[in-house]
Structure 1
Amino acid sequence: MAKAIPIVMPNTNHRLCTWHLMQNAVKHVSSLFRDVGVKGVFSKFIHQIDDEEEFKIQRDQMLDRYDARNNHWLEQTFGVKEKWEWPYIINSWAAGMSTTQLSESFNAFLKDYLNCDHNLIEFFMHFERVLYDKRYKELESEYNLSQKLPRVSIPTLMLTQMADIYTKTIFEEFQNEYVQSIEASIVGTINDGESTIFTIQMDID
């Protein structure tokens, strides 16, 4: 596939899935990075370095620190750095995808609508059904979300913030506790010199 893509589609770029890259790193070189862990080393090269020269410096420092210049997997992986490292792919359009999980998920979804016996016209007819169902579910989700937003009974800063964080059910429980707490009154105080004990009365109908 990697060799066929530049031949069939010369203006495109073949990229590696960063998720699979990390899984392979865990499999092949975990023993090298026991002090910080594989993810602690590779996440920097995948996500944080955006300059080619800085990438080379950090790579050489890492290889020297862990005495890993002769590691076959690292040699192969850094040999195709143009397919996964950010400084080299920053100008390659990929629809915001860095892993194959999204495409794999969509492929699995397509299987319910398409099969290899469809001709081109049938393919596009079924593909339109896929798009319609996807768009309908998105609209349905947006509608349900707008109808199920938590209702803030007292517009305090705390409740407003929690309404954005909690689900509707959890927020209603939190709001009930909050309202009861502000309706409580102090009916007794005991001060023993080191601490103060308050007796609270809840006015519950």
Structure 2
Amino acid sequence: MSGKKPISILTDQDAAMAKALLSEWPETCHRLCIWHIYQNAAKHLSNAFEKFKNFTKDFGRCIYDYEDEDDFINAWNNMLEKYNLKDNDWLRRLFNIKEQWALVYGRQTFCADITTTQRSESMNSALKKYVSYKYDLLRFFQHFQRLVEDRRYQELKAEFRASQSSPALSFPVEILKHASNIYTPEVFKLFQDELCKAHDCVLKFNGEIGSISKYEVIPHKKYWHHTVTFDSIDNTVLCSCKKYEFAGILCAHALKVLSTRNIKNIPAQYILKRWTKNIKAKSTKSTCNVSSENDSKVEIVRRYRELCRLHTQLATRASESKDAYETAILGLNNTLRDVDACLKKKASQEPTQVIPKTTSASKLNEYICIDDDIIKVRGIKTKTKVVGNSKRPKNALEKLTKKKKPRNKEECALLEQEPDSHNETIHMPTQSQATMDISQQYYIRTHNTLSNYQQGPTSMMNLLQAELPQEEELSLLSSEGLDLLNSELTCSAKTHDMCVQDVE
């Protein structure tokens, strides 16, 4: 919040939060959520709500309607006596903190016409659509950034619609046309509703003293009146309901008096900038004077975002016409030259930092050379290199159980036919099966050796001898297996002779 404290804040009836707000923000107006008060009233006053039909109306009037403190206290005591609630402990505790929920005590403080924490609850609901309690801190901020970007995009669309369209007027009067040109669509709807209510109000003139006139305005279907004073010198209008002080827009009672005084436009002093369409375009005031003494990097990020926001608005508005575009380009070029001159002047005034010869590699990485000016950048850390292999060494069992990679499709097919060691029972092969397996493996190895033989016959026999079964494999062969192996060796020798003849 750039060091600013809120004017008012709304919470539920949490005692710890109230104590913290009083100690940290004593000047902030602490209000209680009206919705939570009604929820607690439904629990503690369920008999009164069920038994008496008018109790809800009388309880609501104590919260909203009264403008004078004495009238509020009298109405509260009458309600307790009427419904026999004088001994109710919850109502007694609620009355002790009446300054935090009764509008008679809070109308003079700006609260944007907010009386509940519903906006906060709706924001919590929107946040739950993007993040989950299962996320770690990094994933939380990544998805939270998505939420911020989506909200800003919706804001941009609303700004575009407000700048390219005009709201429909309920009736064509000058003050309503003026409101449609300055207010955002949402605030314009609120103003239009107040203007419609003003036509149904009854106005009574109570006299005039100098330039100040006093009126009594009775709302439609109400038996009480509001006192409105008007100053003809500067068109100042004040109403006892204090809606402008509380919500930021003129009430129906004040608009009734302005209409009677033939005021066609909203007085400038009653137009809050926060409700206008062009608030961002007019907000060119830099906030660089608010600095962060604890962390300079936070200040750099804040200035960068502020400059990006202003230049985005400038590009959006300047692109609408050629003259505006040329003016913006000329101004940006001049600004860029001024910024360069300012940075060079600052660099010349500051003592140049010399890098010592004995500085280590990690220290050298903290210096960046830009335009022959050495600037030391703090916070950049170099990751230390880890010497050696980070893989865990394998034990003897893992080395023995490691399978060789198949060399061709035939061996892959044989491996697929082998039973799964995890899911099937292991059966020891018989001697005949072992003989066939060794013979097939030797046949496959021999076939691959012949197919890959492209270097001449001189090394052919050496290759075939390398593919011969090992001694432990021969021990498993029977007489039939040895005969089969001899026939295969004879065939391989004949193939070798044919290859030699082809070469010669």
Same fold (TM over 0.5): yes
Tell me the equivalent position of 1:70.
Answer: 87
Tell me the equivalent position of 2:200.
Answer: none
SS in 2 for 1:78: helix
Tell me the equivalent position of 1:24.
Answer: 40
Alpha-carbon displacement from aligned partner over 1:9-40 (angstroms, at most 9, x marks no partner): 12212211111111221221131352224422
Query: Where does structure 1 lack aligned partners over 5 or more consecutive residues?
Result: 150-205
Note if 1:103 corresponds to 2:132: no
Q: Give the RMSD, CA atoms, in angstroms.
A: 3.4
SS in 2 for 1:14: strand
TM-score by length of 2: 0.26
Tell me the equivalent position of 1:10.
Answer: 26
CA contact (8 A) 1:17 1:84 kept: yes
- Shift in Å, 1:8: 1.3
Give, as a single letter, the amino acid of the residue that structure 2 aligns with 1:97.
I
Note if 1:117 corresponds to 2:133: no
SS in 2 for 1:15: strand
- Shift in Å, 1:80: 0.9
Q: For the residues of structure 2 that align with 1:104 and 1:65, how far apart are their CA atoms?
A: 36
CA contact (8 A) 2:130 2:144 kept: no
Aligned pairs (5 A) from 1:25-174: 25-33=41-49, 34-112=51-129, 117=137, 129-136=149-156, 138=158
Q: For the residues of structure 2 that align with 1:54 and 1:92, how far apart are their CA atoms?
A: 20
- Shift in Å, 1:79: 1.3
- Shift in Å, 1:72: 0.7
Q: For the residues of structure 1 that align with 2:161 and 2:65, how far apart are their CA atoms?
A: 34
- Shift in Å, 1:59: 0.7
Whichever structure has more helix as a proportion of its residues is: 1
Structure with the bigger RCO (C-alpha within 8 Å, sep 6+) is: 1
Tell me the equivalent position of 1:194.
Answer: none
Q: For the residues of structure 2 that align with 1:101 and 1:44, how far apart are their CA atoms?
A: 21
CA contact (8 A) 1:113 1:130 kept: no
- Shift in Å, 1:75: 0.6
SS in 2 for 1:2: helix
SS in 2 for 1:69: coil
Alpha-carbon displacement from aligned partner over 1:140-194 (angstroms, at most 9, x marks no partner): 8779x98xx9xxxxxxxxxxxxxxxxxxxxxxxxxxxxxxxxxxxxxxxxxxxxx
Return structure 1 stretches of 4+ with deviation > 4 angstroms.
111-116, 121-128, 139-143
CA contact (8 A) 2:33 2:101 kept: yes
Alpha-carbon displacement from aligned partner over 1:70-118 (angstroms, at most 9, x marks no partner): 1011111111111100111112222221011111102332455678837
TM-score by length of 1: 0.58
CA contact (8 A) 1:17 1:99 kept: yes
Provide the identity percentage: 34
Give, as a single letter, the amino acid of the residue that structure 2 aligns with 1:107.
N
Q: For the residues of structure 2 that align with 1:142 and 1:38, how far apart are their CA atoms?
A: 43
CA contact (8 A) 1:63 1:69 kept: yes
Distance 1:138 1:81, change over 3 A: same
CA contact (8 A) 1:32 1:66 kept: yes
Q: For the residues of structure 1 that align with 2:74 and 2:29, how far apart are their CA atoms?
A: 25
Query: Where does structure 2 lack aligned partners over 5 or more consecutive residues?
Result: 1-16, 169-504
Distance 1:71 1:141, change over 3 A: farther
Give, as a single letter, the amino acid of the residue that structure 2 aligns with 1:94.
C
Aligned length: 146
Distance 1:58 1:64, change over 3 A: same
